Structure 1
Amino acid sequence: MIEVGISQLALIGVVALVVIGPERLPRVARTVGALLGKAQRYVADVKAEVNRTIELEELKRMKETVEKTAREVESQVSATASDFERDWAEVTAGLGGTSSSDSLADSSSIGSPVYPQYRRPKKNFRLKRQAVPQWYKARAGVRTRALSGAARVARYRPKIPPR
């Protein structure tokens, strides 16, 4: 990087004052400052993009290792399950002449209780709501519809007779 000290900055300032002049120097300084700010923001954006790319590559590598491990675990589980099923078939083969599906069907029909099918209760909430007559609700002051604040003001505003 370029290293600029205080004495070098002062020399650049004096030369700029002489060359540009005192009238245009503030405007030029603002423009240079704005350009430097844009350049710094651009460099920061590029650095952030590079960091995001590096992190994305790391995440992809991590994803691949996790997927590889998951495949290994899945293969081990399936091998263990097939061994278990084979052992289970050997053990249950000598128990009786019936197959396992027949014994399950027989045991479920013999000892299990039969529950009635669910039926929804016959309630009609609309009928309940209309049980009180509309004329009684109006006379008793029961609100059946909600009014907004503006509608309420418009409805209950005192009538001004025309002049």
Structure 2
Amino acid sequence: MTRSSAVGTPDRSFADLAEHLIALRRAARLPQRALAEAANVSRGAVQRAESGTAAPSPAVLDAYVRACAGTPADQARARLLRNRGRTAQRGRLRHLKAPAPALIHNEGDLGAALGAVRSSDLARFNGVLAWAGRTPAWRVLM
């Protein structure tokens, strides 16, 4: 009996981050236990960070990179991959089929995101916006 790949498979939103962290640890030639001691975090925190299924906290992430003698570029990449994983995990704007907020850099991107919002979506927000008054969100959507 075969199993569907989606059934029983954990969400690996942070797989790219895990690969980056594992590469840093291996480049530093540290086993997980030694890295945990050097970073002053639990070995479980290191294992979870390297599993790709959960995001380490920013403090654990920074300690991990420092313990591996990572460069500022390594730290910036780790933070970027963590943010991408969190965005993917939340499924932001999936129902709108619009770009994720992190991908909106200019007026054209914003126009594409707002263009994806249909009037039925606006009706759904109407109850929320009624009490919001004339906030920036109200002005954009109305």
Shorter-chain TM range is under 0.3
Between the two structures, name the one with larger relative contact order (CA 8 Å, sep ≥ 6): 2
Task: Give the structure with higher Rg (CA).
Answer: 1
